[in-house]
Structure 1
Amino acid sequence: MRTCRSSRATTTTTLAATVLALTALIPSTATTAHAAGPPTLGACATGQLCLWAKPEFKGARQTHELSTLDINSCTALPAGTSAQSLTNRTGRPVTTYQSAECAETGEFQTYPGDGVWLPQSPYQVRAFKVWER
């Protein structure tokens, strides 16, 4: 009986040591996520609409100041450019358009102006309108 218990204890200890050794070889997702840190929001000052060429607030950034925008008018992005992420800190609703002419035949979406961070638009943004409150 003693031999059986001793054998079981040895087997359990060996198994535990093996699992521990294998765990050390496999990267932990908790450690990886912690090391990467939380997602960062795109920097955009109060009164601005900021648009990034790539998702997750990456790539070239375009900044539009509320003080220089024509309210209720279509503002097309420069020819050949588009945006895939945005931050609206204008204090006013902003509608983004797939169409460079703000046509409603393509995709469009309105975002409130009280601080919206959109890491990935469902379409390529080619134009926008800032609205009265």
Structure 2
Amino acid sequence: MRTCRNARTTTTTVLAATVLALTALLPSTAGTAHAAGPPTLGACATGQLCLWAKPEFKGARQTHELSNLDINSCTALPAGTSAQSLTNRTGRPVTTYQSAECAETGEFQTYPGDGVWLPQSPYQVRAFKVWER
């Protein structure tokens, strides 16, 4: 019996040590606040193109109404400003440009108009074009 009890004690000790070792590998959540869910998308109404100065829809927001935009024309952001996140709810494709003149020598990207939320642009947006469908 004594041998059986020692084997059981050894097995229990090994299991406890294994659980302890695995627990040490998991990230600690003690003393940290839990996120209140998924990241918040930038508020932007239907028919608008919304641009934020900072990533994750933060900082100053510029709102452009489709009804006030010249289709197929370059719209530069105000001098000295740029955007790092955007929402396109215009219903039309929008191309954003690194260049303030919509030059294709810099970075540019087209986003569909059926509801795009881009929390981080790969470049500073300085201008955009709204296209016909």
Confirm or deny that 1:115 pairs with 2:124.
no
Separation (CA, whole Å) in 1 of partners of 2:22 and 2:46: 50
Give unpaired runs (5+ residues) of structure 1: none
Name which of structure 1's ranges 84-93 and 32-41 shifts more when overlaid on structure 2. Answer: 32-41
Q: What TM-score does the superposition give when structure 2 sets the normalisation length? A: 0.81
> Equivalent residue of 1:53, what SS?
strand
Cα separation, partners in 2 of 1:28 and 1:128, compared to 1, 3 Å? same
C-alpha displacement at 1:90, in angstroms? 0.2
Show CA shifts across 1:71-124 (max 9, x none).
111111111111111110000110100000111111111111011111111111
The two structures, once aligned, show a CA RMSD in angstroms of: 3.3
Cα separation, partners in 2 of 1:88 and 1:12, compared to 1, 3 Å? same
Q: What TM-score does the superposition give when structure 1 sets the normalisation length? A: 0.81
Confirm or deny that 1:87 pairs with 2:82.
no
Name which of structure 1's ranges 26-35 and 41-50 shifts more when overlaid on structure 2. Answer: 26-35
Name which of structure 1's ranges 40-49 and 8-17 shifts more when overlaid on structure 2. Answer: 8-17
> Equivalent residue of 2:59, what SS?
strand
Cα separation, partners in 2 of 1:24 and 1:81, compared to 1, 3 Å? same
C-alpha displacement at 1:35, in angstroms? 3.3
Name which of structure 1's ranges 4-13 and 28-37 shifts more when overlaid on structure 2. Answer: 28-37
Cα separation, partners in 2 of 1:94 and 1:32, compared to 1, 3 Å? farther
Percent identity between the aligned chains?
A: 95
C-alpha displacement at 1:58, in angstroms? 1.5
C-alpha displacement at 1:63, in angstroms? 0.8
Cα separation, partners in 2 of 1:108 and 1:25, compared to 1, 3 Å? closer
C-alpha displacement at 1:57, in angstroms? 1.3
> 2:25 is matched with which residue?
25
> Equivalent residue of 1:50, what SS?
strand
Separation (CA, whole Å) in 2 of partners of 1:24 and 1:35: 22
Separation (CA, whole Å) in 1 of partners of 2:113 and 2:33: 31
C-alpha displacement at 1:127, in angstroms? 0.2
Confirm or deny that 1:42 pairs with 2:31.
no
Separation (CA, whole Å) in 2 of partners of 1:40 and 1:92: 23
Show CA shifts across 1:7-55 (max 9, x none).
6427625862894699499644799796352122111110000111111
